[in-house]
């Protein structure tokens, strides 16, 4: 096949633009370049081509763009980096962990406080948006977790400390103590922190944003 019949443009290692006499021919040529099957790629038809006079003269090649499908972790990393860039943050995203059920990303930023936001609200928004976009149309959805400057690790230790100190107080007083409203993740941290205590137990009460943990003596 001559250059006039087929042209290939490789923009990145995972994206190929290919021309051919037909859409099918262009797709197959792109798959050869990427060394991939149809299940591994996303195909965008740029032009279906035009048949020339008498099937020969003045025709126009079909053109397609074929992109390798990214994993949830790769997609999440790219999505988060794009969100940060568009929000004007000087930051870099790193993939820390990728398991069958979870992806952990870490943000290194010039100004972590602006990425985290008050009480972690901005960081939570980034995590929510990244999770929604990265898991879209994926068969194996994963939980996306994002940290910045060790903020979540520090928060976990802070909540664990509150849980343990409260448990000590309940042991001494023999009376249950109700903690302030917490998110589902924060409540899980409390439950886990005191799960091995022999004299106290915990349970959640309330609804919605007012849901909180009660630490009480074991009966």
Q: Give the start-to-end residue ranges of the domains of the chain.
A: 8-68, 72-149, 154-217
What would the CATH number be for the domain defined by 154-217? 3.30.1370.50
Q: At residue 22, does pLDDT exceed 90?
A: no
* Cβ-count burial 73-89 (b if 16+ within 10 Å, e if not): bbbbbebbbebbeeeeb
Report the Cα 53 to chain-centroid distance in Å.
51
Q: Are domains 72-149 and 154-217 of this chain identical in fold?
A: no
Higher per-residue pLDDT: 5 or 117: 117
Q: What pLDDT shows up at residue 126?
A: 97
Mean pLDDT for 117-130 is 94
Residue 96 DSSP label: E
| 106 bridge partner residues | 94, 147
Q: At residue 7, does pLDDT exceed 70?
A: no
pLDDT in tens, 130-177: 999 999 877 788 999 999 999 998 999 999 999 999 999 999 999 999
Question: Top-level CATH class of 72-149?
Answer: alpha beta
Q: What pLDDT shows up at residue 2?
A: 41
Query: Distance between CA atoms of 117 and 42, rounded to whole angstroms?
Result: 36
Strand arrangement of the beta sheet that strand 62-68 belongs to: 8-12, 15-20, 62-68, 41-47
Phi, psi angle pair for 149, to nearest 5°? 60, 25
pLDDT in tens, 171-199: 999 999 999 999 998 999 999 999 999 99
């Amino acid at each position: 096949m001559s250059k006039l019949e087929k042209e290939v443009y490789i923009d990145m290692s995972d994206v190929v633009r290919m021309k051919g006499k037909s859409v099918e021919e262009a797709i197959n040529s792109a798959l050869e370049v990427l060394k991939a099957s149809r299940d591994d790629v996303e195909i965008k038809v740029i032009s279906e081509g035009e048949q020339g006079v008498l099937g020969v003269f003045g025709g126009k090649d079909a053109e397609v763009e074929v992109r390798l499908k990214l994993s949830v972790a790769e997609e999440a990393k790219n999505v988060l980096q794009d969100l940060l860039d568009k929000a004007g943050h000087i930051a870099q995203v790193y993939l820390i962990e990728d398991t069958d059920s979870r992806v952990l990303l870490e943000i290194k930023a010039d100004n972590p406080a602006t990425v985290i936001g008050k009480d972690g609200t901005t960081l939570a928004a980034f995590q929510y948006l990244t999770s929604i976009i990265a898991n879209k149309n994926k068969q194996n959805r994963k939980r996306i977790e994002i940290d910045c400057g060790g903020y979540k690790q520090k928060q976990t230790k802070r909540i664990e400390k509150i849980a343990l100190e409260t448990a000590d107080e309940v042991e001494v007083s023999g009376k249950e103590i109700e903690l302030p409203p917490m998110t589902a993740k924060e409540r899980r941290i409390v439950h886990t922190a005191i799960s091995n205590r022999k004299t106290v137990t915990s349970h959640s009460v309330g609804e919605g944003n007012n849901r909180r943990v009660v630490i009480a003596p074991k009966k």
